[in-house]
Structure 1
Amino acid sequence: MTLAIEQLADEIEALKPEFIELSDRIWDLAELKFEEFGSAKLQSALLEQYGFRVTRGLVGMETAFVGEYGSGKPVIAILGEFDALAGMNQIAGIAEEISDRPGASGHGCGHNLLGAGSLLAAVGLARHLETAGLSATVRYYGCPAEEGGGAKTIMAEAGTFDDVDLALTWHPAPFNGVRSTNNLAVIEYEIRFKGTASHASNAAHLGRSALDALELTNIGINFLREHMPTDCRIHYAITDAGGVAANVVQARAAGRYMVRAPEIVGARALAERVTKVAEGAALMTGTSLEIELGKATNSLLPNITLETAMHEEMTALGPVPFDEADEAFARDIQSTFSQEAIDSSIRLYQIKGDALSNKPVDSSMPLHRGLRAFEGYSHFRAGSTDVGDVSWVTPTAQCWAPAWAIGTNPHTWQVVAQGKSAAAHKALVHAAKAIAATGLKAVSEPDLIARARGEWTEKTGKRRDETRSAEKALPARA
């Protein structure tokens, strides 16, 4: 580790108590997409406390903001999130599924940690650059609604990232390191049917069932699954079944549908087929159909140059300094998983070796005390993120930090239970150091930005033009 990185890491260590407290307070708030008023206020206030110039209400989104420190080139963007998930309330610090507010929201994807860690990285990097006399602009982007809202997509479409030289972020995970992925593009629709109510026994012939139309849509999609590419996905949730009375022909019904594909072009083509299925269901039932776009986010465009640089900095930082108490709680969490779930977690994150010990990861480990080996090429990952839209505007890299016991899957009560743990706090700080160190490397070595930009330019080209054409052909956003 270079002297500069050691100093940067020490500065982040000194700053960490305030940001750990921030993470815990946002965990307590657990605010949903576009309603993260308290979380955004806490983050914005802390940015201003450390001298950042804050602009609120980006692109008409009340909880979107950007904080800027310094001036000139390069412009380093650090991305943060802070939204929770509906219905995922869980008491922290216990290895048992218990809610003190059943049905309330909870941080089932660790965005309380993500935002606080990214904010710590931005503040640490900005202060270090000023002390070292290095010229650069550090921006922290407060990005709401990653879960179902796609705020980064909206920000990217509005040109918010156009002058950024590179973007960095991270995500809580069961493992430590960089994993290059080309996540799926996703299009999310609200599909609503309107029919005619009637008595389901005396006058059923007068009714036109919106619920029938919704069920026929789902049946049609199930038949469609056989005839779509194997790397695509379609998910759904019934958001309105029209009521609970069985003796009524339901006059309304609605569902939310997510269509995923490796590229936005493929997602759009598949979404068009889903639309035709819904149109057929409306025709069969004599109902009317309304389809509204919820969000459309792009696939993630990996940048191996930038990811390699981040991996090098994480190698220099070493493992997260967990202790026996951290591992004890992680073992308690692991006791709620099957062995299959733990093994699946290792496969999901493509953990084939350790960059520090050169040993395979043992599935009996409660926490990852190593560093994932970086292969220098990308993996397929079936998830989606609006970070993808940023990656098509500027070179982007992200790392993972082991905030969760090995075997933990996102969007589960176990994530919420670990959201305020000492291990999660250590992972938050470690991610901040990795991001800030990568930013410092980019400022100190301009050739890194040039090489990352060259790779990005080579990978975009025609694919970027096709992507934008596909996005323009989508229906109006909700």
Structure 2
Amino acid sequence: MDLTKELAPFFDETRARFIELSDEIWRYAELRYEEWDSARYHRKMLEDEGFRITPDLAGMPTAFHAEAGDGGPVIAILGEFDALPGLSQQSGALARVAAPETGDNGHGCGHHLLGAGAHWAAVAVKRYLARHGLPGQIRFYGCPAEEGGSGKTFMAKAGAFDRLDAALSWHPDYETGVVTAVTLANLQVQFRFNGVASHAALAPHLGRSALDAVELMNVGVNYLREHMPGDARVHYAITNSGGASPNIVPAQAAVLYLIRSPSNETTRRLYERVCDVARGAALMTGCRVDIEFEKACSNLVFNRTLADAMHDSLIQIGEPTFEQHEVDAARAVQRTFSDDERQALLAEAGTAEMPAIGPLLAYRPEQTRLSFASSDVGDVSWVVPTAQCVTACYAYGTAFHSWQMVAQGKSALAHKGLEAAAKVLALTAIDLLSKPQRLAEAKAELIARGGGPGYQSPIPDGVAPALKSGVTHRTA
């Protein structure tokens, strides 16, 4: 029997339930390590479905995996559910209108869809194995803090992915296809400067400004940019500006840095240079600097064997089709883009008119390109063969981490992309469970690329997830 036809009744019967799941997670809009309601909602549904839950992975209360099946290979499907700060937005709005029910947060990267689609696929595989009495195990991983927390990197360091044969994931996008790009490794580090407070008019000579140190560090790093590799990236945010009074020499100030490059080793070397700049700024201002390593993630290891399997599943499902009302809604969103955005998107599309919804991407695994984004899926890909797809959930050209992405998170287009991703993941997992030779080839490819036993976590020993005080006792 055609597997897509066999699974069709399941997806028809459960569609409303998983759309509701994604919409609820959109409403919760919880930030890194504190996805209490989101994790609880996922876990309850998985428990009701008969999955066995392993909680508190890597010391993170909202990290867990849910397993079903026995014997045979173990296939993981990775789910996320964290939101972003400062992106609250009313669903369906065509202007910036905050949504009070989500607080200050918003799902500007579609992780409410990502987790729901992965969950949906895991349930489909579980039911398929049970119906046919087949060996094999399916695991859904609830992965917190992808945004600014690298939850999967901590999980990989703790061995949470060690017993797997393959891992599958997806990401909401404005196009559909199998991911052949590799990502940047990154490090996130807090630099806290400590000086001496004094009256800025009566005794400025007695003060040592921590804010001066932060500003000098930022100037120094900006000069460093000329001497960094062209594919490296450094970003910063001042997290403590030293207070609100200009009449006090600031005794404390802090800046958070995110440092990226194509490999862990080049990122580490660039990090050391940034640290030297911070030490120099402290020396120039008579301050002390404390360097707090927060998190890191590795670059992605592409696995063509698994990518081929996922592409086969995508072709079986077929290119998505869209209703006129979905096209019209996408066009309305595109009218909110700036002229510069539209010109850049036209150049990207290579057409005279920008498509409303992205087409099916050409699959060219021999032309792996570098993406300047980062993801903690990279660390999973070093431990176990990993493949990812994207599906169109937003109007073509919607910027990630934007209010427009949040506003479209509960749209008909988002739900259609969610379902397409769940089907691709489910078909790929079932295919791999029935083809141990393909899994063996994927593992051999990973080892040939330096992964598997060669994985070394980019997070130093002694660094723990930056949970807020008093939350580790809570049960998700």
Per the normalisation by structure 2, the TM-score is 0.94
Query: Which residue of structure 2 lines up, in the alignment, with residue 275 of structure 1?
Result: 275
Q: Are residue 5 (structure 1) and residue 10 (structure 2) matched?
A: no
- The CA distance in 2 between the partners of 1:327 and 1:339, in whole Å, is 20
Counterpart CA distance in 2 for 1:400 and 1:388 is 16
Aligned partner letter, 2:307: E
Cα distance in 1 for partners of 2:165, 2:326 equals 38
Within a 5 Å distance, the mapping from 1:214-293 to structure 2 comes to: 214-293=214-293
The alpha carbon displacement at 1:475 in A equals 6.8
Equivalent position amino acid for 2:31 in 1: L
Question: Map of 1:39-188 to 2, 5 A cutoff?
Answer: 39-101=38-100, 104-188=104-188
Alpha-carbon separation, structure 1, partners of 2:351 and 2:81: 31
Q: Deviations over 1:188-240 (max 9, x none)?
A: 00110011111111110000000000000000000000001000000000011
Match of 2:396 in 1: 406
Secondary structure at 1:153's aligned position in 2?
Answer: helix
For the residue of structure 2 that corresponds to 1:450, the secondary structure is helix
Does 2:299 correspond to 1:299?
A: yes
Alignment check: 8 A CA contact 2:179 2:387 kept: no
Correspondent of 1:383 among 373, 378, 388 = 373
Q: Distance in 2 between matches of 1:67 and 1:428?
A: 20
Q: Supply the distance in 2 between the matched residues of 1:128 and 1:100 (Cα, whole angstroms).
A: 39
CA contact (8 A) 2:294 2:463 kept: no
Residue 42 and residue 474 in structure 1: after superposition, are their counterparts in 2 closer, same or farther (change >3 A)? closer
Instruction: Name the aligned partner's letter for residue 362 of structure 2.
Output: A
Cα contact 1:108–1:416 (8 A) shared by 2? yes
2:175–2:391: 8 Å Cα contact kept in structure 1? yes
Alignment match, 2:363: 374
Instruction: Specify the alignment match of 1:397 in structure 2.
Output: 387
1:468 equivalent to 2:456? Answer yes
Kept in 2: contact 1:318–1:371 (CA 8 A): no
Other structure's SS at 1:278 match: helix
Give the whole-Å Cα distance in 1 for the aligned partners of 2:67 and 2:166.
15
> Mean Cα displacement is larger for which, 215-224 or 468-477?
468-477
Give 1:396 deviation, angstroms: 0.3
Do 1:196 and 1:209's aligned partners in 2 also have CA atoms closer than 8 Å? yes
Separation in structure 1 between the aligned mates of residue 422 and residue 351 of structure 2, nearest angstrom: 24
Deviations 1:92-126 (A, max 9, x none): 01211111339711111110000001000100111
* Structure 2 CA distance for aligned equivalents of residues 150 and 451 of structure 1: 28
| 3-state SS of paired residue (2:273) | helix
Using a 3 Å threshold, how does the CA distance of structure 1 residues 213 and 416 change in structure 2: closer, same or farther? same
Moved more, 227-236 or 12-21: 12-21
Which residue is 2:21 aligned to?
Answer: 22
Q: Please report how far the alpha carbon of residue 15 of structure 1 lies from its aligned counterpart in structure 2 after TM superposition.
A: 1.5
The alignment partner of 2:144 has SS state of coil
Contact 1:75 1:164 in 2 (8 A): yes
1:356 corresponds to: none
Q: Confirm or deny: 8 A CA contact 2:92 2:411 kept in the other structure.
A: yes
| Distance in structure 1 (CA, Å) of the matches to 2:235 and 2:80 | 24
Equivalent residues of 1:342, 1:363 under 8 A apart: no
Show the counterpart of 2:410: 420
Q: Distance in 2 between matches of 1:453 and 1:435?
A: 19
Alignment partner, residue 447 of structure 2: 457
Distance 1:448 1:13, change over 3 A: farther
Q: Specify whether residues 344 and 390 from structure 1 end up closer, same or farther in structure 2 by C-alpha distance, changes over 3 A only.
A: farther
C-alpha deviation, 1:339, in angstroms: 5.3
CA RMSD of aligned residues (A): 1.9
Shift of 1:172: 0.4
Note closer, same or farther for the CA distance 1:172–1:444 as it changes in structure 2 (3 Å cut): same
The whole-number CA distance in structure 1 between the counterparts of 2:353 and 2:248 is 53
2:354 to 352, 364, 368: 364
| Cα deviation 1:304-339 (Å, max 9, x = unaligned) | 111111111111111223211111111110001135
Aligned residue-pair number: 464
* 8 Å contact kept, 1:9–1:433: no
In structure 2, the residue matched to 1:354 is none
Cα-to-partner distance string for 1:424-454 (whole Å, 9 max, x where unaligned)? 0110010000001110110122221111111
2:377 & 2:354 partners in 1: Cα distance? 32
Partner secondary structure for residue 248 of structure 1: coil
Query: How far apart are residue 406 of structure 1 and its match?
Result: 0.3
Q: What is the alpha-carbon distance in structure 1 between the residues aligned to residue 73 and residue 22 of structure 2?
A: 28
- 1:132, distance to aligned residue in structure 2 (A): 2.1
SS at match of 2:443: helix
Change (3 A) 1:120 1:57: same
Secondary structure of residue in 2 paired with 1:78: strand
Q: 1:377-414: CA deviations, max 9, x gaps?
A: 31100000000000000000010010010010110000
Match of 1:444 among 413, 416, 434: 434
Distance 1:7 1:14 in 2: 13
